[in-house]
Chains A and B, each alone.
Chain A
Amino acid sequence: MAGDRFMAARKRNALLLLLAPISIILGIFFLIPLGIVVVYSFLEPGLYGGVEWTWYPYNYGRILGWPLNDYEEFDPIYLKIFATSLKYALMTVVFSLLICYPAAFWVSRRSERWKGFVLFLITLPFFASLLIRIYAWLLLLRPTGFVNTALEAAGIISQPLDLLFSGTAVVLGMVYIFTPFMFLPIYANVEKLDFSLVRASQDLGASPIQTFLRVILPLTAPGMVAGSIIVFIPALGNFIVPSLLGGAKVQMTGNLIERSFLQSRDWPFGSALALLIMASVVVVLMIQTVKAGRAKGGRPA
């Protein structure tokens, strides 16, 4: 009917209007820069910075193994660094999951006032600059820092431990930074978990472990997946933490990208590295989307 069609048109217009601001912002500040990066990644780096406008697939070649000429040996160093980044990002995800999942349950069982207070505490770090907070870790972990002096004073160690400038320090720093991002989605999920379902499961004869695996875990998985993705993506490309806490020993792809753009002024190579990270993130997201779609549409296993 004409009325229906009119209503449908109005709905469509309203939708367009609502989506306009975000579309414009994403278009200008995301898609266009992304396009530039994609184009640059296939151009030859200029001798003194800038680019030569010629087709040049060897930025990717340097990373993935088709070197510029036959005399050059392929150096898998970039792939190794990428693998290290993946490892550290995954470790960050796992450790912050291990911290946040039980914590979310604990907080969700507190009184309303307690909950508000804890959530405030969790957002508290955001009031201080990220840089300052990482520097604080530097002070804590260095040989004459708080951790070492405390351990020495307690007589647990006689020599200061080499805490700083290690993979451990990097993962520690990233877990520290990203914990709130893991906590909030998990908490939102755990908080709305209907506790009577846990009762029902027990009532139907399930042991505590069975109840956890078959009821609590599946119902809180979406929060864990969301938190993991939100942590994994920035952890994979992070460069501040490794450059401050990792020193010269720990390299992550983020550091390489930063150096290509800012120090060696090799924008095409930096672009190629950045796109590689993005590609792996997209793969992760696609797997997640397919899985989520399957869980909703069909019967879960």
Chain B
Amino acid sequence: MGFLQILSARKVYQTPEGSSVQALDDVTINIRNNEFLTLLGPSGCGKTTLLKCIAGFEDLDGGDLILDSKSLRSVPPHKRPFNTVFQNYALFPHMTVEQNVAYGMEVAGVSKVERDRRAGEALDLVGLSGFGGRRPTQLSGGQQQRVALARSLVLKPKVLLLDEPLSALDRKMRETMQIELKNLQHAVGITFVFVTHDQEEALAMSDRIAVLAQGRLQQLDTPTEVYDKPANEFVANFVGTSNMFAGTVASISGDRVILETGNGRRLAATSTAFRVGDQVRLVLRPEHLTILARDETGDADVPAIEGRVRETVFVGSTMQVHADIGHGRTALVSHPHTRRGSSDIAPGAEVRIGYSAASGHLIPMRSA
């Protein structure tokens, strides 16, 4: 049971050129109380549109939006118990920081004393006490972002909507704010719906991730599930990097599946969702692959993949090994460089690539 339900949401935009864009196509999400939900997807997939529909700035063309079992579709934006942190912060330039934070309370008729107290608390919460008298233009990007947060949080909304709030910040600042936002969400106990196109950000911060592509919901799951068990090819490619092999299920014993690719390669995976003869794709994350040392045999009945190292990229914690594995394909292996046999890995070297069947995830072949 979600407390904010998005039911089969549809939104079609008419472009000035006369064509139409299906920005949301049958999106159903049950948002839970107090969760940190991230809407993740590439540019133009409909994230902002969904957020605007929740906030009330856009009308749904179909479907419904239910809060505490009441439809919100006829409720104007200023009467919805949600607040938004806009991508460009949208702080009022003619007001001080304190007046910005107090604005929502002022228009709601909260007394001056109460307003001052709560605005002070909210600024404390985001670490900006003492900045109340400044103008938004006299703040750094990160500080403006906190003011926007305080301005929304002070109203204790049922849901806080955040549209790529960190995208304007530099990398260091962004990482700090990711942690702060997450902690803040825990502290205030408010449901966050957070929009990003950055999959690392989504994995790091969310309780659940809703992956969107072309207006459709691709997967709604916890970060680990989304990463380890992508629902389809799109998610597997968009979240993290994958080695993918298309093939047919050749044999099944228990949950151990052996598939055979078109060019005769035999690979192993773990799944109970398929039958012999099904067309599937095997997803192997680079960190699930290892370069076997000469005397290593790897997993008993998982045939190793033979290959030749093309190039290696040292990225600190691991060595990224690109290996030609025949039939014009390349495998990406994320190899811990402290592991045995690392010194043998050099461009041109013949290697065997091992993995465990448990890490092999199968997804159905995209139906035509």
Contacts and interface: CB of A to CB of B under 8 A. Distances in A.
A69 interface: no
Contacts of B152: 203-204
A143 B57 CA distance: 53
Interface residues of B, number: 28
A201 to B, nearest CB: 7
Interface of A: prevailing SS = helix
Interface in A201-241: 201-208, 210-211, 214-215, 218-219
A5 interface: no
Contacts of B91: 200
B328 interface: no
A87 B243 CA distance: 80
A200 B78 contact: no
Nearest to A206: B107
A219 B78 contact: no
Q: Interface extent on A, as a size class?
A: 20 to 34
Given A197-B90, A214-B107, A299-B96, A203 B77 contact: yes
A279 to B, nearest CB: 32
Contacts, number: 67
Contact of A201 (B16, B88, B103): B103
A111 B16 contact: yes
A196 interface: yes
A196 B107 contact: no
Nearest to A200: B90
B243 to A, nearest CB: 42
Contacts of A300: 94-95
B304 to A, nearest CB: 56
Interface string A166-207: 000000000000000000000000000010110111111111
A218 B94 contact: yes
Contacts of B133: 299
Interface string B286-326: 00000000000000000000000000000000000000000
Nearest to A195: B90
A35 B78 CA distance: 59
Interface of A: 111, 194, 196-197, 199-208, 210-211, 214-215, 218-219, 299-300
Interface of B: 16, 55, 57, 76-79, 82-84, 86, 88, 90-96, 99, 103-104, 107-108, 133, 151-152, 155
Q: Which 7 A-B pairs have the closest CB atoms?
A: A204-B104, A200-B90, A206-B107, A196-B90, A202-B78, A202-B77, A203-B84
